[in-house]
Structure 1
């Protein structure tokens, strides 16, 4: 944009001198340098914080699917990268031992309930002891709790999608054995119910960014187009400023100035759902300052969007 403005000015200056409208004296000879200095100080440098620009990234939460019960997989009901709804079946585990446990506890509970009714009847007729009634009631309560736990285990033999999304890098097959250990996930599930777009902004340009400000993003995944959005929040911490629990004294390390991260919500929610995780782009945030620079930034961003047709980086 700086080159374009200077080119237009030089063309106008040359034309004015050619047609004799101005005398090509020392002032006009030095005017391009004066204009260049003025544009930098009054427009392009302030544009950094009035309409900051930075790289954008689309990311989604990944859920490691770890079953709550262990056993042999009897069915894998999904295929990789196929959209799923929350509650859809992912895979099933052999329910035989868990079903047997439910039936066994149910039979014991039925017997204990009958004995409780008999003891209660005898106690009401003054032919039994209150202790026996309390003992049978305790057995019934314990078996009821065991039955609930056994039924929960039986229900968990059917593993379901925790949210809208899809399974990726699927290697699980029928006959495999899965365990309820957090270090042994059965599959990776990508949650698409919430699409997050973050923008990195240099610290020197982030001073005026606030929630609710207008954002425009040009994604390389969709070249030639610019999408609008709003600033949701500015993340209040980066890894370099994080203090971690340790039994040692502070270890000196090189301090680096890293960008701050701004979270953005796109206006077009349907388009946001279609964006693949890892999609990149360039974003511009329009603050309440240096509004005249917004026009220049909008033009520059659209140039980036057009160049995305040929620029893979």
Structure 2
């Protein structure tokens, strides 16, 4: 009988050790943390132009779709600026047409005077040639001195006509003004029109993705400015759980590692996820210099050495839209025994 009790006791001890070993192995392969929260990307909806809010068709915590109107700023100042720039453009177009006609007339006159100069140049060359030929014949008695004097006079007259025509041509060409200044001014006005059209478009702010409105604390009649956020828009298309795991639990935890998450709002619902990334830096709280901008994870015990925690970003492809809220407490487990090889 005593022997039987010893066997039972031995079996119980062995069974207990086996169960303990399985539990420890399970815990080692599937580390778990309750230092986690739900997360989604957010943007601050800040207007590009200033003005009075005339329409606000959304309310706080409302679900909106991509392209939905979030708010409208009084468009009249920007519409007036656009109308004014378009009117300036129309005036400049007419001025360019009229000026171009005048320039064309000036150019026609310059061309005519240039033709006259060319004719006068040809006549001078002919007169000079005639004079030179007769001058060579005077000594032989074939040409009289009177004829030579007449040829010299004709040459001098042709030269004077050529010089006068040259000066007139230069003057006529200098009088051709052009429309370059007006064309440059037109391009400037076109740029003003483009800016006015853009500002007019900016007076209406639409949702850039499906999401939920948050932190809306304004109403119609409030003056909006580019330096002030009107609301926050939560991107409900992608949800994550940011889980802070001890550095000793991060072995083999990499992109693609399967995970299981629960939200404290309803722990009966289990969600599957996948590790998207593991943080490579946090701000230590026990001293040391490190650049700002890194996440700060508080250690619960500061009088003994505690393993640092690093955020693990877990993508949840099928969240419960009624349960997932930014900052909601969560519990996460990573199955690093099923982690993919490499990264």
Pick one of 10, 23, 27 that aligns with 2:4. Answer: 23
**Structure 1 runs not aligned, ≥5 long:** 1-19, 246-253, 291-313
Pick one of 201, 209, 223 that aligns with 1:155. Answer: 201
**Structure 2 runs not aligned, ≥5 long:** 109-172, 293-301
| Paired residues, number | 258
Name the CA distance, whole Å, in 1 between partners of 2:60 and 2:177: 59
The normalised TM-score by structure 1 is 0.71
State the partner residue of 2:267.
Answer: 223
Name the CA distance, whole Å, in 2 between partners of 1:203 and 1:48: 15
State the partner residue of 2:29.
Answer: 50
State the partner residue of 2:91.
Answer: 111
Pick one of 166, 169, 173 that aligns with 2:212. Answer: 166
1:197 aligns with 2:241: yes
Name the CA distance, whole Å, in 1 between partners of 2:233 and 2:193: 31
Name the CA distance, whole Å, in 2 between partners of 1:130 and 1:64: 57
1:70 aligns with 2:50: yes
SS, match of residue 239 in structure 1: coil
Cα displacement (A) at 1:170: 2.4
Name the CA distance, whole Å, in 1 between partners of 2:185 and 2:334: 66
State the partner residue of 2:310.
Answer: 260
The normalised TM-score by structure 2 is 0.65
State the partner residue of 2:68.
Answer: 88
Name the CA distance, whole Å, in 2 between partners of 1:239 and 1:70: 38
Change (3 A) 1:93 1:242: farther
Name the CA distance, whole Å, in 2 between partners of 1:289 and 1:204: 18
Conserved in 2, the CA contact under 8 Å of 1:266 and 1:272?
Answer: no
* Higher Rg of the two aligned structures: 2
SS, match of residue 189 in structure 2: helix
RMSD: 3.1
State the partner residue of 1:177.
Answer: 223
Deviation per CA, 1:103-155: give whole Å up to 9, x if none: 11111111112222333444455159776321111001100001111111111
SS, match of residue 207 in structure 1: coil
Name the CA distance, whole Å, in 2 between partners of 1:50 and 1:114: 80
1:144 aligns with 2:190: yes
Indicate the larger mover: 127-136 or 188-197.
127-136
Change (3 A) 1:190 1:267: closer
Change (3 A) 1:54 1:121: farther
